[in-house]
Chain A
Amino acid sequence: DVKVTQSSRYLVKRTGEKVFLECVQDMDHENMFWYRQDPGLGLRLIYFSYDVKMKEKGDIPEGYSVSREKKERFSLILESASTNQTSMYLCASSRDREAFFGQGTRLTVV
């Protein structure tokens, strides 16, 4: 059974903190994604990685960075968390446009 695992289901952080969201997939997929989902806005792509150490900005990369040092792991970094980054964050991996999603991390920045 395919699996995409996000390190935390719920997270509460303070404004200004550096936040790491981790995602691991066990399917040997080249492509990995980070999205955020907010009510009424659908899923918005933050960053996309198509290979180790390769990344491409999505629609809303501001305030975020990513790291992909190993094929199975894709990390999303909030350099200095702000309250407008409170959201549901979804990680996915894919091959041939079929994506598999993690369970999501609900991040609250206070």
Chain B
Amino acid sequence: LAKTTQPISMDSYEGQEVNITCSHNNIATNDYITWYQQFPSQGPRFIIQGYKTKVTNEVASLFIPADRKSSTLSLPRVSLSDTAVYYCLVGDIKGKLIFGQGTTLQVKP
């Protein structure tokens, strides 16, 4: 499974757009990129998934360049409730999910 690298922590202010980048240099042809969000005392929650180019849903956007060696999760106009840990995962159709340390996002008023 491809290993991922993402920043340990990020700070932002309410109303700003936040971009969290994940590196996955060894991504395989069949691998998808998936992002999860985790609040304290809860299990992670699926946010978004993509294979290439751009994916958007009601929560976030995911940008994947042509070489797929990185991806960027974009959270538009964050609020205090977006303070959480964000995980980037890379894996194939078999479905084994390996989480790393994630990125702790702190949104300030």
Partners in one complex: yes
Query: Are A33 and B97 in contact (CB-based, < 8 A)?
Result: yes
- Given the known interface contacts A43-B44, A98-B49, A102-B43, the answer about A50 and B101 at a Cβ–Cβ threshold of 8 Å is no
In the complex the two chains form, what is the Cα distance from A44 to B87 in whole Å? 12
On chain B, the residues within 8 Å of A65 by CB distance are: none
Distance between A3 CB and nearest chain B CB, rounded to angstroms: 12
In the complex the two chains form, what is the Cα distance from A97 to B34 in whole Å? 7
Total A-B contacts with CB atoms under 8 angstroms apart? 63
In the complex the two chains form, what is the Cα distance from A90 to B36 in whole Å? 15
On chain B, the residues within 8 Å of A59 by CB distance are: 98
How many residues of chain B are within 8 Å of chain A by beta carbon? 24
The main secondary structure of chain B at its interface with chain A is loop
Query: Are A97 and B91 in contact (CB-based, < 8 A)?
Result: yes
In the complex the two chains form, what is the Cα distance from A90 to B85 in whole Å? 16
Contact of B32 among A50, A95, A97 (CB under 8 A): A97
Contact of A31 among B34, B46, B95 (CB under 8 A): B95
On chain A, the residues within 8 Å of B93 by CB distance are: 96
* A contact set with B: CB distance below 8 Å: 30-31, 33, 35, 40-45, 48, 50, 56, 58-59, 90, 92, 94-104
